């Protein structure tokens, strides 16, 4: 059996058109963007055209887009800048954030640089906005609110506009990890009340090792990597030229194909949920899976049995690639902090299936048939 890849929330295959756009900047157009002669000017122009393209697609100003190495760097930078440059002394987050946020917040807390709190969750994993407002009202110091736009494990989507309005009302800084939504949904940053967002190219068929940090024009932060003055003196280091070109091309393709691709991928998710319900007794789904949720992610809670405890290993042995939660923990065999925060039911085994435009209904059928044997 050919390998079936159902872990697209971890990373996605690079589109051929994206690779084609990148290749010239790996070969003949190799100049250092900081060089003043023609090779350098050619590379500099490619980066600035990419920045303009990304800004236009997100309805932002080009000066608000900074290229980074990915979502983790962008998240770290936004949180650090909010503390260092914007006077935030308390951070409100949630127990189901990506570790790139959770561990960063914990670091500043352990160093006694800030105090922290976590907003309450409903049983389906959505953020309790009433609790958030109560916390913002009662905390005297300036707050940073860092809440992800869509959860990478269960797929729940935050009401980013409502959170942004609450932050504006209470003079709080708002950062949102948008790694699972940039390239998957149209985002209009002119109409979204947010100060920072993070994105990563490899989540939407772009290259690994490149991301963006959006910094709203209304705030001013200091340079976050010192050295040669790249990225308008904010992030020193020779730019990832072909990665940046690839990011812009992948975002352009993702947004031009959004209507058709999102409908198709949603149909795969809906079909798999229906097939699992029909064929696996006792199956349940984590999060708001058929409501305000990513069309790419289906988090499945299987009944715990001797066989199902080995489900990820068994799937892998059968050439099916899926995840027990986030794939960003370097293979560490630890239970999902997201699932623990939601229900922590010891009689359930969670598998995250996540889909892309390259998957098929036939693959869903094959996976469900194999699961019937393995559960």
Active-site amino acid positions: 328
Contacts of 209 (CB under 8 A, 6+ apart): 69, 70, 201, 202, 240, 243
What is the side-by-side order of every strand in the sheet holding 348-354?
Answer: 284-285, 297-303, 348-354
Q: Cβ-count burial of 141 within 10 angstroms (0-12 exposed, 13-18 middle, 19+ buried)?
A: exposed
Distance in angstroms (rounded) separating the CA atoms of residues 228 and 303 = 55
First-to-last C-alpha distance (Å) of the chain:
19
Bridge pairing between strands 143-146 and 211-215: unpaired
State the pairing for strand pair 65-68/348-354: unpaired
Q: Which of 193, 222, 209 is CA-nearest to residue 86? A: 222
Count CB neighbours of 59 within 10 A. 13
Handedness of CA 248, 253, 254, 255 (dihedral sign): positive
Neighbours of 198 (CB within 10 A): 30
Nearest to 272 by CA among 238, 288, 295, 249: 295
* Tokens describing residue 275: 């097939």
Strands of the 143-146 sheet, one edge to the other: 65-68, 211-215, 196-200, 173-177, 143-146, 90-93, 115-118
Residue 48, Cα to own-chain centre: how many angstroms? Answer: 24
Give CA separation, 263 vs 192, 295, 296, 322, 361, in Å: 24, 8, 10, 22, 13
């Amino acid at each position: 059996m050919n390998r079936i890849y159902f872990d697209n929330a971890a990373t996605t295959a690079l589109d051929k058109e994206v690779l084609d756009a990148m290749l010239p900047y790996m070969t003949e157009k190799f100049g250092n963007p900081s060089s003043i002669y023609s090779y350098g000017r050619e590379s500099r122009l490619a980066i600035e055209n990419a920045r303009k393209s990304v800004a236009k697609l997100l309805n932002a100003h080009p000066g608000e887009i900074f290229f980074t190495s990915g979502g983790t760097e962008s998240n770290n930078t936004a949180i650090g800048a909010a503390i260092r440059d914007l006077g935030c002394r308390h951070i409100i987050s949630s127990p189901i954030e990506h570790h790139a946020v959770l561990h960063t917040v914990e670091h500043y807390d352990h160093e006694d640089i800030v105090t922290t709190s976590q907003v309450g969750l409903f049983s389906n994993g959505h953020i309790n906005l009433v609790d958030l407002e109560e916390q913002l009202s009662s905390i005297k110091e300036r707050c940073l609110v860092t809440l992800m736009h869509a959860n990478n494990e269960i797929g729940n989507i935050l009401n980013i506009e409502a959170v942004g309005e609450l932050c504006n009302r209470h003079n709080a800084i708002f950062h949102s990890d948008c790694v699972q939504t940039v390239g998957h949904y149209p985002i209009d940053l002119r109409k979204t009340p947010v100060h920072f967002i993070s994105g990563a190219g490899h989540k939407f068929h772009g290259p690994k090792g490149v991301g963006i940090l959006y910094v709203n024009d209304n705030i001013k932060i200091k340079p976050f990597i010192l050295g040669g003055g790249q990225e308008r003196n904010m992030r020193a280091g020779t730019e990832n030229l072909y990665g940046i070109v690839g990011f812009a091309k992948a975002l352009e393709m993702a947004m031009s194909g959004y209507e058709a691709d999102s409908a198709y991928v949603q149909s795969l998710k809906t079909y798999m949920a229906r097939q699992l319900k029909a064929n696996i007794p006792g199956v349940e789904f984590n999060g708001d899976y058929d409501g305000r949720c990513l069309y790419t992610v289906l988090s499945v809670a299987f009944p715990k049995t001797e066989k199902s405890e080995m489900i990820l290993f068994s799937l892998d042995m059968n050439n099916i690639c899926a995840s027990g939660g986030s794939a960003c923990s370097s293979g560490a065999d630890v239970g999902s902090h997201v699932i623990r925060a939601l229900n922590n039911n010891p009689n359930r085994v969670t598998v995250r299936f996540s889909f892309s435009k390259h998957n098929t209904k036939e693959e869903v059928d094959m996976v469900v048939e194999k699961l019937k044997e393995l559960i």
